[in-house]
Chain A
């Protein structure tokens, strides 16, 4: 499978000269399978350029939402395939206790917040996330709830020859004085264990984390320790804080890697970066 990062920024888009290398678009990752299955992980503002680049041969797109915070759905209404009668878009996301996915999404995709009604997107098929695993094209997908405010999941995506995990918003260290605990007591561990590639929240530095406990995000050092606990092959840090410019991300990543030694590759996620598994 192939991955491309279309948006790596957390919380809110942060365009500008000082964020040009890592990118200013919010969460969106494209995953392509050998047989052409197209998965899109989250619909932040990065999904807009992805929609333009998909190509005319794609007839089905499968979008998996981790949760419905604005930075993960804001690009949805600007995703060109939703308005193309030749393309069917399947959208998976978590329901809440009281509302299904449609009921939750329509709060954003309707006037006055957005001029187009969800019901007018004729080739959009919505799916409340089922429990356990399900198949999307050639991929076996597992969604599980993870530690982040609201109804939030992480994904494990497996093909015949590769496995990745995507936990864009995750605070596994919440309430844990000496992180990490063993894997069975660590949020997200079962999703991530042994994957070749992990795309994971790394919004804060360890120094910034205490002022943001409970906000649902991860310090870089926690992301490294979590990935080490789960024995991943490669960690791609993600959901960069909008207050961090490119130089900050370079410096904070180097500092974290100096304090938490890990036996795997670490890449600070940059918009446009590609990975082949």
Chain B
């Protein structure tokens, strides 16, 4: 068990106090936290999933295009944020663990240290009205 970078710890603490759904990944794309508002959209409590590598969390919520075809992981805003070190925005569909299919809008940004080291990424997302 290695300690998370302080920036990631502070981001989790901030996310824990906010009412917007927030999902936090580390530099390798591993899911390290999502907050209570995100639990409502994803249909599962974080305590139940725990930390998950990208190959696992992507299969839990199966992001898809509007026509139902799979969305390539590298097109997810938070994976763009990690890989390309830039903010990214996108729309896609997921199926929550409660079985509901939801239209999602997501904005992600990288967490970067002074040395330009990418520590992970944060994604804020909303269930779109459409």
Contacts and interface: CB of A to CB of B under 8 A. Distances in A.
Nearest to B13: A175
A89 interface: no
B6 A145 contact: yes
A147 B6 contact: yes
A183 B114 contact: no
Contacts of A182: 1
Contact of A184 (B4, B6, B115): B4
B10 A183 contact: no
B13 A174 contact: yes
Contacts of A147: 6, 9-10
Interface string A82-117: 000000000000010100000000000000000000
Interface residues of B, number: 16
Interface in B108-127: 114-115
A175 B1 contact: no
Contacts of B102: none
Interface string A139-160: 0000011110000000000000
Contact of A183 (B1, B5, B13, B115): B1
B69 interface: no
Binding site secondary structure of chain A: loop
Contacts of B17: 175
Given A147-B10, A175-B14, A175-B17, A189 B3 contact: yes
B117 to A, nearest CB: 8
Contacts of B114: 95, 97
DSSP class of B's interface residues: helix, strand, loop or mixed? helix
B13 A176 contact: yes
Nearest to B117: A131
A175 B115 CA distance: 26
Contacts, number: 39
B16 interface: yes
A145 B7 CA distance: 9
A174 B17 CA distance: 11
A146 B6 CA distance: 6
A97 B7 CA distance: 14
Contacts of A145: 5-7
A95 B6 CA distance: 16
A218 to B, nearest CB: 15
B1 A187 contact: no
Interface in B7-36: 7, 9-10, 12-14, 16-17
A67 to B, nearest CB: 13
B2 interface: yes
Contacts of B5: 145
B16 A175 contact: yes
Interface string B39-60: 0000000000000000000000
B1 A186 contact: no
Contacts of B2: 184, 190
B9 A187 contact: yes
A177 B13 CA distance: 10
B12 A187 contact: no
B52 to A, nearest CB: 15
A251 B10 CA distance: 32
Contact of A187 (B6, B16, B115): B6
25 contacts: A95-B114, A97-B114, A131-B115, A144-B6, A146-B6, A147-B6, A147-B10, A174-B10, A174-B13, A175-B10, A175-B13, A175-B14, A176-B13, A177-B16, A183-B3, A184-B3, A184-B4, A185-B3, A185-B4, A185-B12, A186-B3, A186-B9, A187-B10, A190-B2, A190-B3
Given A183-B1, A184-B2, 8 more contacts: A95-B114, A146-B6, A147-B9, A175-B14, A175-B17, A185-B4, A186-B9, A190-B3
